[in-house]
Chain A
Amino acid sequence: MALRYNESSQKIQNHSQVLRQSLRDNPVLLTASGCALVAGAAISAANVFALSVLMLILLVIVGLISTIDGDRLKLPTKPIVYVGITTAAVFLTVFFVNSITGGFFDRLGIYAPLAAVSSLALCRTKDDSPFFEKAEAVTDAAALTAVFAFVALPVAIVRELLGFGRIFGITVTYQTHSVWLYPFIGFILVGFCLAGTRRLIEFIPEPKEGGEEK
């Protein structure tokens, strides 16, 4: 009984470590992975929700497959396998969700297929990416998506308000300008949101070897 308790305690500790590690050393914050999609497509909160759902599905699938793959796949086969899988996943997700919701993902335009080749979706296929167990890979995917959504949501709210005069689809003002919807505004807002998120992430305790916290 004590052994089982220790095992489950160790598992929870490992998950907690992975979660903190993924939140702090996040490719979104370090190299702006996936932020081009935010600059292009995050023009409303609904778009961010659609992008985040898509990204979560892709990250979970890629994370799980990379745990099976380990380091077996090499160039030039590796990119073909992973991008083939992500593209098929995007196609199936969009197809099924659109058929149920009547075109929920149509709002993303050409950015929905481009999510399949986003560097965030493929970040765990790189040679220097950490090795995870299956459950840890899911935790890591959730943490990456959370940071992605956290960066994207303020960008989308500002652009939806000033570009369409709405917040979460509710009209609040008629003083709008379409310039807020252009990608260059998206990039600038993403830059500020990344800096703000970096500041906030510092409040999360840094994980250390052996499960201790700094």
Chain B
Amino acid sequence: MTTAGGFFAYAVIAVFAANALTSGMTDIDSVLTALSKPKQLLIMSLAVAAFSFGGCAILFPVDTILPGEMQSMPVRGLVFSLIILGLYFIGTRIFSSVAPNGYKKYGALLAPAAINGAALGAPLFVSYYTSIASEMASDTAIIAEPSGVAVDFALSLGVGIGSGAGFALSAFLICEGLRKINNPDVSPYFRGAPIMMIYVGLLALAFWGVGGGVPLLPFAQV
């Protein structure tokens, strides 16, 4: 029961409070790749969920042998990137051999799904909270547990799947928003990327509010 509760709590955190798109982990270009058709968005989101879950699941044994300090974040970045690149390579091989027609149609979406901050950000996010759990225990009531965060399967599953679902939700909302805000009434200097960033900012504010305003910072320090 605790495991199921943990899974849902981590999934909700990954969807809203630590959403890869609205917390600045990944660029909006990766969403634009998936926006041309709803089916492409769905497939790319599934691929993001698969890669982030794979990264988080492999993180479970790997993270225990890496040093626990925040200073080792670049080491983790290198290790997790290599893991996700390995998963991408294996995934494309399996996909192309099992469903060659599907690979021809959607194979090009696998690269942007694997190589973006959503897939790499999920294991980094889990690892980040593992390494600073004791410091943050008093501030973050949801994720930090009294004995420190144990990187367990529920956490990996929750963050992995939540990351993909959060990507799909925010990408869909960005897609819908862009259709409406890219109109001639918008100043030419704001049209395109600037108005999109302002819209994503408002979306991030809404997500932050829905996530309960959990103080997940600092991802970065001064």
B188 to chain A, nearest CB (A): 8
With contact pairs A30-B193, A87-B81, A120-B27 given, residues A184 and B205 touching in the complex (Cβ less than 8 Å): yes
B217 close to A182 (CB less than 8 A): yes
B58 to chain A, nearest CB (A): 16
B197 close to A40 (CB less than 8 A): no
A residues near B23, Cβ cutoff 8 Å: 40, 183
With contact pairs A33-B27, A110-B128, A184-B22 given, residues A41 and B219 touching in the complex (Cβ less than 8 Å): yes
Indicate the member of B25, B124, B218 with the most A CB atoms within 10 Å. Answer: B25
A191 close to B117 (CB less than 8 A): no
With contact pairs A30-B193, A198-B194 given, residues A117 and B117 touching in the complex (Cβ less than 8 Å): yes
A186 close to B194 (CB less than 8 A): no
Please tell me if B35 contacts chain A, counting CB pairs below 8 Å.
no
Select B27's contact among A35, A83, A94, A181, beta carbons within 8 Å. A35
Which residue of chain A lies nearest to B26 when distances are taken between CB atoms in the complex? A36
A residues near B82, Cβ cutoff 8 Å: 84, 87
B197 close to A95 (CB less than 8 A): no
The range of chain B's interface size is 35 or more
B117 close to A188 (CB less than 8 A): no
Interface majority SS (helix, strand, loop, mixed), chain A: helix
B197 close to A187 (CB less than 8 A): yes
The range of chain A's interface size is 35 or more
Please tell me if B147 contacts chain A, counting CB pairs below 8 Å.
no
Q: Provide the bound-state CA to CA distance between A88 and B22, in Å.
A: 26
Please tell me if B1 contacts chain A, counting CB pairs below 8 Å.
no
Which residue of chain A lies nearest to B25 when distances are taken between CB atoms in the complex? A114
A32 close to B222 (CB less than 8 A): no
B193 close to A35 (CB less than 8 A): yes
B residues near A90, Cβ cutoff 8 Å: 74, 77-78
Indicate the member of B29, B187, B196 with the most A CB atoms within 10 Å. Answer: B29
A116 close to B77 (CB less than 8 A): yes
Q: Mark A20-44, 1 if CB is under 8 A from B, else 0.
A: 0000000101111111111111011
Q: Mark B49-75, 1 if CB is under 8 A from A, else 0.
A: 000000000000000000000110111
A residues near B32, Cβ cutoff 8 Å: 31
A125 to chain B, nearest CB (A): 10
Q: Provide the bound-state CA to CA distance between A156 and B221, in Å.
A: 12
Please tell me if A75 contacts chain B, counting CB pairs below 8 Å.
yes
With contact pairs A32-B27, A35-B197, A79-B111 given, residues A91 and B78 touching in the complex (Cβ less than 8 Å): yes
Indicate the member of B32, B71, B221 with the most A CB atoms within 10 Å. Answer: B221
A40 close to B219 (CB less than 8 A): yes
B24 close to A112 (CB less than 8 A): no
Q: Provide the bound-state CA to CA distance between A72 and B40, in Å.
A: 27
A176 to chain B, nearest CB (A): 12
A residues lining the B interface (CB < 8 Å): 27, 29-41, 43-44, 46-47, 75-76, 78-80, 83-84, 87-88, 90-91, 94-95, 98, 103, 105-114, 116-120, 122, 160, 164, 166, 178, 181-192, 194-196, 198-199
A-B contact pairs, 21 of them (CB 8 A): A31-B29, A32-B196, A39-B24, A40-B25, A44-B222, A75-B92, A87-B77, A94-B74, A95-B74, A109-B219, A113-B78, A114-B117, A114-B120, A122-B115, A178-B217, A187-B204, A189-B201, A190-B201, A191-B194, A194-B194, A199-B189
B residues lining the A interface (CB < 8 Å): 21-30, 32, 70-71, 73-78, 80-82, 85, 88-89, 92, 107-108, 110-111, 114-117, 120-121, 124-125, 128, 187, 189-190, 192-202, 204-205, 208, 215, 217-222
15 new A-B contacts, CB < 8 A, other than A114-B117, A114-B124, A119-B30, are A32-B27, A32-B194, A36-B21, A39-B197, A40-B219, A75-B92, A79-B114, A83-B115, A106-B73, A122-B115, A178-B215, A183-B22, A188-B202, A192-B194, A199-B189
